[in-house]
Amino acid sequence: MVISTSHNYSKSYPNVVNINTANKINLKRVTQNGQIQIYQSSYRGSYPSIIRDSLRNAALGRKVLLIQFMKGGVKQGVDNPVTLCGNLTWIRSSHSFDQYESESIEDNKNLKKSIHESTLELWNFCKKELQSGENDQIILDEIFLAIDMKIIHIDDLISTLENRFISGDVILTGTDIPKDLLLMANQITELRS
């Protein structure tokens, strides 16, 4: 228990700390990294609430970056982001996993290579953004599927998260969460149907 007052309570109350305000110290405010939040679900496509929250945060003036690794969009990719509410930048893969059947991807080496390159392009963009400190919130949707598909290496994700510079939160979503990332998280939320 700490009491800030001009009285000296420490002699009669040994559990109370006396704070001397006569010697003022100039403190420098240090920007801290936000939390790492993990949202996991047993099935894909269960994250509309996270997207809704990102829109609300953007409307409230926070700068939000939403990256969807496994969802594609028409003329999307790093070069064609969608901006909503003036503060939400939404980027989907230019050539994504969800645009094709799994068998088609496995049978076509060029298609598989294109999807991998597009996903890596998103990841390299994310790494720069996590270091820039320009966003208040970054959402990496279905990044664990990209790890599971061996497009992104788990050690690269862990290292990037450990060295991030963002005052807000980093939100990771997916189905199969590696144990090392669960141990890093400040908050883990399991979404159920």
Candidate from 23-27, 74-78, 130-134, 186-190 with smallest mean pLDDT: 23-27
Would you give the DSSP letter of residue 105?
H
For the segment(s) 33-191, the CATH number from 3.40.50.300, 3.40.47.10, 3.30.230.10, 3.40.718.10 is: 3.40.50.300
Confidence of residue 18 (pLDDT cuts 50, 70, 90): very low
Contact 35, 172 (CB under 8 A): no
CA distance 125 to 122: 5
The SS3 of residue 56 is helix
The amino acid occupying position 98 is: D
The SS3 of residue 166 is coil
Burial-class residue 47 by CB neighbours within 10 Å (0-12, 13-18, 19+).
buried
pLDDT at residue 66, rounded to an integer: 94
Contact 65, 89 (CB under 8 A): yes
pLDDT at residue 105, rounded to an integer: 74
Would you give the DSSP letter of residue 26?
P
pLDDT at residue 4, rounded to an integer: 35
The SS3 of residue 58 is helix
The amino acid occupying position 57 is: N
Domain regions of the chain by residue span:
33-191
Q: What's the pLDDT tens digit per position in 160-186?
A: 999 898 778 999 998 888 888 888 999
